[in-house]
Every structure is written in structure tokens, then in C-alpha cells.
Chains A and B, each alone.
Chain A
């Protein structure tokens, strides 16, 4: 098929950089470069300073985050303060349950160091998957694999059945429990 080659001066280096990063994100595995491009235009980029909260436990969940640069901690309030559940680096994603349901965040996300994140809002994601069933099937398939990974990991580590029934609390297992495809490893 005829492929159009655009001259170099028309290309956006920033978009190309983001596109390369998205190719490595496990949630978007299996998407072609063209499909990733469609996803890319729906993303916002935001920089966070060290220690700044990205979202807080109990707030409405509205977006998925992909770490572009830096480190992000996922913490949950418990007895004696916040407990760190996971630390995520470039290529990792979090807050994915916001793409599925409208329930509040079950954990807090905080930037450990100056970090840049890509944000995909649920409404933009819904907009994208409505017109592109292939993208929807691939992303949802990857998401289901990741969720199945949590459930299996949690089951083998002895978490009670009650905690594994339909519940948004299955959000962020400890880093050691995290399936490799989820952590961008």
C-alpha cells in the first residue's frame, strides 16, 4: 500500500518521543503505531514536583496515569499513617480502574521526585473506544490480564476471598506482588 512520507520539518519531535514511550507501556501492548497515535492525541502531560500529590484516596477517579519520567509512590492510609504499596518508574501506569468504574480512589499517588506524567481521562478514553473497537478490545484485554494478575498474586499470598469479590480495593498490590507486565518491567 502507498505510504506517505512527511518531510522532517513537518514532524513533531515531542509527539514522536511520547509515541516511543507509549509503545513500551504494557497496557497498550499490541496496538499498532497508528492506533497509538490516535491514543496519543487524547493524552495530557503534567509535571509534578517532589512530594506533590497526584490524586488522593477517596477522591473521584477520573483518569489513568502513565509515568513518563521520575518516580511515583502509591500509598494507602492505615493505622499509624500512610503505607507505601508500590513505587513506579517510567513506562509504568496507575489509576487504571478509573477507566472501568466511577468509584473513588482507594489509594493516594504521590510523586517521589520531579516527575512527568501522561494523563488519559476516562471521557477521552470512552470517546476513543466508541469509534475504534480494535483499540478497545486490545486495551481492555491488557487491563483484564493485569487485573487477573493481581487476583492470582493476591490469592497465592493468602488474601481472603472477601477482599477479592467485586471491589475497587484491588488497586495496587505491593511492588513485590505486582505482575511484571504491570510494572513496566
Chain B
């Protein structure tokens, strides 16, 4: 340490001991900017969520736009054409699938008023089945009246928030209208946005800073597209399997299983659980549950070994422990959407930390011990 530093002598104009304690103005402006952005994001979190979902949709469609761009078609023309195509396919699939789905929804809503009674009868039937097999456990089950009261109270508690659910439904309808519009503009204008950010970055930083964005873009794009494809395959497999097993509402349960699959770990349990509950209430016996369980375990095994390997693959380089911890923690704080966004969020963080460590290592002149591994060093070149 130099004498100048030890004595606390100012090193330049305007440099005092006090200035060391107070961060430079740019840091204060950055901190204030981040804080204000955080507050704005929190206030408008509903809209932020819609924007995030719209970005996800844009990621799903982007490869098709890129394909059109690769043959020198204007991006705006490609995006508009694709949207028209998607709208047309949605109309056709609605024409083919909606009557069947509507029949399932009508049947389901018709059975809602007697739901508690049906559930009670199912529990009775299952109890009788268990007692018939294992008479010694008969004393473990509560009296029917007490159970019925508890069940009624539980159902009342669940349906009390129905007005709240209706308001949520309104939000979902608004989101359904906004998401396609937002994703259209994100798809059409994202290259211009990226270009304008690149134009503002310091030239010497372009390579490293945009490289992080490229890696994040690649990982998230693959993850989201893989997830969508995975959900589609799982949903179809579940619907077909349930239809073969003769379980009611196969289309609805298949759609739910496919959608729930986007939530890591919890999703497959929810999808399988609901299908098993439906089978239990329909057949009022434990034996069909085994078939549904085998179906869902087979789908899960197929998903882990074949489908995920082919769709998501190695796009996410997260350790399973870190993946589980991030899904649980972020899910606990932000709910189901937090669970879905946990993987991309942690991936982004991981890539940024990786680049920062890499830069630090290079500046310190330390080479990466992992680099060059497996590459034999030639003793000569000829």
C-alpha cells in the first residue's frame, strides 16, 4: 500500500476520505433505477405475467419465423402469415374437438351438485372393499355421519370463494385476448429491439455481453419449445390411455395432464392424482386405480427416458438438486407460475454468473482447468 493511501491524502481533485464511503453517483442512480423498476413490476405484476407468457408463446413460434427469414422473406410478412395460419388451424381444431370437449364439460358440470354425495358413496365403497379384504382395519375408519359432515364442511370451504374464481376467470379472458396480440408484436419487433440495445452497448463489450444473451436465448428457447412438445405428447398419451381404460372425461384429463406437466415434479403428480380420483369415483373400487397408476407411471418413464431426451434434451444444464431446490423455493414464493418460470430464471442467473467468473479468471490470468481436457497435445505439427 502506498504512503499516499496510508496517510489518506486525496489522490485527485475532489477525492476525499468521505468519497470512499459514499458510492459514486452512477451507483446510486443504478440502485434507484433497479428499486423503481422493482416497484413498477410489482404493481403491474398481472401485466408482467401476461408479457412473460406472450414472450413464451413468441419463443414457441420463433423457429418458424426464422425458417421463413432464411429464404429472405420479410419478418413482418412471415409473422402475419404464421398468425393467420395458426388462427385457421385453431378454428379447424375447434370445429373437430370442441363438440366432444363440450360434451365432457357439460357432463362434468352436471355432476357437480351431487359431487359430495358421489364422493361419500365412493369412500363408502372403498371402505367396504378394504374391510372385506382386511377385517381387522374396520375400527380405523371414522363413523359415516362424522365423515359426511367433515366432507360437507370441506366442500363448502372450497366453493365459498366462487365469486373470487369468477373474477379470476375475467382476468384469464383478458389475458387470452392480450397474449396473442403481445406475442405478435414481440415476434415482429424483437430483432429491432435487440439491434437498438446492441447499438447502445459499448463496442468492446458487445462480444461478451451479447454472448450471454445468445446462450440464454438458446437455452430458454429450447426449454420452452421442448416443454410444449413434451406437454403435447404427455397429454395425448394420457388421453388415449384413459380412453382405452374406459375412464370418464379422457380429453379433459389428458389436457390437464399435458398442461400440468409444465410444472416440474408437481405437475405429473397432479395429473395422475386427478385421473386416479376420477377413476375411483367412476368405478367405486380400488382396482381400476392400479391401471391408471400403471398408465401414468409408464407415461412418466417414457417421458423421462425418451420424450424429454428428444425434446428438452440437454438444453438445461442444471443439477437435479439445484433444479428441485429452485422449483420449490421460487414456487413457494410466486406460486404455480413461479414453478414454471423457475428453470428459465435460474438458467439466466447461472449463465450470467458463469460469464462473470470467466472474465474474472481471464483477467487474473488463470486458465480454466476443464478446458482442453480430452484434447491430446501434439508434440509436433506436420
Q: Which residues of A are in contact with B by a Cβ distance under 8 Å?
A: 6, 9-12, 15-16, 19, 34, 37-38, 40-41, 44-49, 52-56, 58-63, 95, 101-104, 119, 121-124, 126-127, 151, 155, 161, 164-166
A33 to chain B, nearest CB (A): 9
* A11-B72, A37-B72, A119-B210 known; A166+B198 contact, CB < 8 A: no
* CB neighbours of B379 from chain A (8 A): 165
Q: Which residue of B69, B368, B375 is within 8 Å of A15 (Cβ)? A: B69
Residues of B within 8 A of A124 (CB): 214, 218
CA of A109 to CA of B71 in the docked complex: distance in angstroms? 32
Cα A56 to Cα B358 with chains together (Å): 15
In the complex the two chains form, is A40's CB within 8 Å of B208's CB?
Answer: no
| B70 proximity list for chain A (CB < 8 A) | 34, 37-38, 40-41
- The 8 lowest CB-CB distance pairs between A and B, nearest first, are A62-B211, A37-B70, A121-B214, A53-B204, A15-B72, A52-B203, A123-B215, A164-B381
What are 16 A-B contacts defined by CB distance under 8 Å?
Answer: A10-B73, A10-B77, A11-B73, A12-B69, A37-B71, A37-B72, A48-B203, A52-B203, A54-B207, A59-B204, A60-B358, A123-B211, A123-B218, A164-B380, A166-B377, A166-B378
The digit string for B178-208, where 1 denotes a CB below 8 A from any CB of A, is 0000000000000000110011000110111
B332: Cβ under 8 A from any A Cβ = no
Which of B195, B206, B359, B372 makes the CB contact (< 8 A) with A166?
B372
Cα distance A166–B375 in the bound complex, in angstroms = 9
CB-based contact B203/A58 at 8 Å: no
Q: Are B368 and A102 in contact (CB under 8 A)?
A: yes
Choose from B71, B210, B355 the contact partner of A60 (Cβ within 8 Å): B355
Verify if B300 is at the interface (C-beta below 8 Å from A): no
New A-B pairs, 15, CB < 8 Å, besides A11-B73, A58-B363:
A12-B69, A12-B74, A37-B71, A37-B72, A41-B66, A52-B203, A54-B207, A55-B204, A62-B208, A62-B211, A102-B368, A119-B210, A121-B211, A123-B214, A161-B380
Q: Do residues B210 and A121 form an inter-chain contact, with CB atoms below 8 A?
A: yes
Complex CA distance for A87 and B368, rounded to whole angstroms: 31
Q: Which of B71, B75, B199 has the most CB of A within 10 A?
A: B71
Cα–Cα, bound, A165→B378 (Å):
6
Smallest Cβ distance from A130 to chain B, in angstroms? 9
List the A residue with the shortest CB-CB distance to B204.
A53
- Minimal beta-carbon separation of A28 from chain B (angstroms): 14
Q: Are A55 and B207 in contact (CB under 8 A)?
A: yes
- The reply to whether the CB of B177 lies closer than 8 angstroms to some CB of chain A is no
> B371 an interface residue at 8 Å Cβ cutoff?
yes
* B204 and A54 within 8 A (CB): yes
> Which one of A9, A40, A155 has the highest number of Cβ atoms from chain B below 10 Å of its Cβ?
A40
Chain A residues near B355 (CB-CB < 8 A) = 60
Residues on the B chain within 8 Å of A10, using CB: 73-74, 77
Interface residues of B in 62-112 (CB under 8 A from A): 66, 69-75, 77
Distance of B225 from chain A, by nearest CB (Å): 12
The verdict on B30 contacting chain A, using a C-beta distance below 8 Å, is no
Residue contact A165 to B377, C-beta cutoff 8 Å: yes
Chain B residues with Cβ below 8 Å from A121 are 210-211, 214
Q: Which residues of B contact A60 (CB under 8 A)?
A: 207-208, 211, 355, 358-359, 362
CA distance A40 to B191 in the complex (A): 13
Inter-chain CA distance A67–B375, complex, in Å, is: 31
Nearest chain-B residue to A59 (Cβ)? B208
B207 contacts across to A, CB distance below 8 A: 54-55, 59-63, 95, 119
Whole-angstrom CA separation of A62 from B213 in the bound complex = 12
- A61 partner residues in chain B, CB cutoff 8 A: 207
CA–CA, A171 and B359, complex, Å: 20
**Contact (Cβ within 8 A) A46 B362:** no
Partner of A45, one of B195, B208, B358: B195
* B72 (CB) vs chain A CBs: closest residue: A15
Given contacts A12-B74, A166-B378, A44 and B203 within 8 Å (CB-CB): no
User: Are B204 and A165 within 8 A (Cβ)?
Assistant: no
User: Which residues of A are found within 8 Å of B371, using beta-carbon distances?
Assistant: 101-103
**Given A119-B210, A121-B211; A16-B72 close (CB under 8 Å):** yes
Residues in A with CB closer than 8 Å to B381 are 151, 155, 161, 164-165
On chain A, the residues within 8 Å of B73 by CB distance are 6, 10-12
List the B side residues contacting A166 at CB < 8 Å. 372, 375, 377-378
> Which residue from chain B places its CB closest to the CB of A148 in the assembled complex?
B381
CA distance A37 to B371 in the complex (A): 32
Whether B204 pairs with A56 at a CB distance below 8 angstroms is: yes
Kindly list chain B residues whose C-beta atoms are within 8 Å of the C-beta of A11. Answer: 72-74
From B211, B218, B362, contact of A63 by CB (8 A):
B211
What's the Cα separation between A165 and B377 when bound, in Å? Answer: 7
A52 cross-chain contacts in B, Cβ below 8 A: 203-204
With a cutoff of 8 Å between Cβ atoms, the chain B residues found around residue A165 in the complex are 377-381
When C-beta atoms are compared, the residue in chain A nearest to B313 turns out to be A130
CB distance from A112 to the nearest CB of B (A): 14
Closest to A103 in B: B371
**Distance (Å) between the CB of B197 and the closest chain A CB?**
11
CA–CA, A47 and B206, complex, Å: 11
